Amino acid sequence: MSCIKEHHLNTDYKIDFINKEISTVSELKYWTKDANEWQIENNRIECLVSCLDRKIHLQTTKLSSEDATVEMKIRLGFLNDEITSLNKNWAGFHIGYKNNLLNDNLENFNKGINIGVCTNGALFIGSPSPNQKNQKIINNLKKGLDLKVLITNTNNLYKIDFSVLEVKTGEVLGRISKKDIASEEILGDLSLISSFQNPEKNKVNNNKSVWFQHWEIKGSKVEN
């Protein structure tokens, strides 16, 4: 049974990136530090660089302070599937604290919870670690994977369930959970993130990293 049926959540935000009249990130009501690092192509949004912490923030929808439930889904594909020794190449979701991105400082910009899949197929909630490879996920990196996140609240503490599914069959290729998360951590802006280790720290790696498609957000904790 899917998470939608179990929790009866209504969709609060959904975008497929297929509107032909929209050609730039700003027209989608997103915010990023450098709009030139992202583009809309092939009915999806692509990150045009392989560098650390490239986030694209959704401006219209946030997570409220209400103790409630939220579910997110997105399709993710890797254009750069290089595996590093410390497992530093990954992409996924970022839940942040910020209320005003334009006036935010660097210290606050880097706060939040990361939820992602690495190029070696490992899943994580928090920080990536050199976990064992998941060959089934590796085999689907370029074709695309469906990422699902379910966040639930019990007694003012949150639990995050994160799973990765094969697109055509819906087979669960990997699943992890993290519990006892403080409520103040599940609050604020929602972002997509691409983060790739760059050996040349002072130079931008202009190799495309990942693409995203079919983003859905739903739940009683969602605030528009």
What pLDDT, on a 0 to 100 scale, did the predictor assign at position 10? 65
DSSP character at residue 200: S
- Identify the pLDDT of residue 110: 46
Task: Return the C-alpha torsion angle 161, 216, 91, 30, nearest 10.
Answer: -140
pLDDT at position 26: 65
Q: What is the pLDDT of residues 160-172, one digit of tens each?
A: 999 999 999 999 9
Question: How far is it, in rounded angstroms, from Cα 175 to Cα 31?
Answer: 30
Segments of the chain assigned E as strands: 11-15, 30-31, 38-41, 44-47, 54-63, 70-78, 90-95, 113-118, 123-126, 145-154, 157-166, 172-182, 188-195, 210-218, 222-223
Q: Which two tokens stand for residue 206?
A: 């202009």
| 92-103 per-position pLDDT tens digit | 999 975 544 444
In terms of Cβ atoms closer than 10 Å to its own Cβ (0-12, 13-18, 19+), residue 156 is exposed
Predicted confidence at residue 100, as pLDDT, reads 47
Write out the H or E segment, with its range, that includes residue 102. Answer: none
Distances (CA, A) of 173 to 42, 122, 128, 176: 25, 10, 18, 11
Distances (CA, A) of 68 to 139, 162, 211, 223: 35, 17, 29, 11
Q: Which domains does the chain have, with CATH numbers?
A: 3-223 (2.60.120.200)
Q: By the 8 A CB rule, do 193 and 149 touch?
A: no
pLDDT tens series, the chain, 224 aa: 233 333 445 667 887 776 655 566 666 778 889 989 999 888 899 999 999 999 999 988 899 998 899 999 999 999 999 998 888 999 999 997 554 444 444 444 447 899 999 999 999 999 987 778 999 999 999 999 999 999 999 988 999 999 999 999 999 999 999 999 999 899 999 999 999 998 777 788 999 999 999 999 999 999 88
